[in-house]
Amino acid sequence: MHTIKINRVRKLSQTARYPRTYEARLSAIPMELIKTLTAAQIAAIIDGPMLTSYSAGHQRGYGDAQ
């Protein structure tokens, strides 16, 4: 892996605060894709599902879950 790019991804990714989740999401991205994308794009791929999940939870509210 390109160490410089991956270090930049880690700095840009909000998910990096959760090492296991970050590593799992990063390892799910094919190496050929990592080679072609920018660090910001990779960070967005890693963060996307987590941010979507948080957003859905906040929109629903605390008392709405059944």
**Residue 63 falls inside a structural domain:** no
**Amino acid at the residue 16:** A
Is 61 strand, coil or helix? coil
Total number of domains constituting the chain: 1
* Average pLDDT rounded to a whole number, residues 29-36: 95
The two tokens of residue 11 are 């700095």
Torsion (CA) 44, 27, 37, 55 in degrees, nearest 10: -10
Q: Rounded to whole angstroms, how far apart are CA atoms 24 and 16?
A: 11
pLDDT at 48 over 60: yes
Residue 37 confidence (pLDDT): 96
**Residue 25 falls inside a structural domain:** no
Is 55 strand, coil or helix? helix
Containing domain of residue 49, as a range? 1-15+30-56
- pTM for the model: 0.75
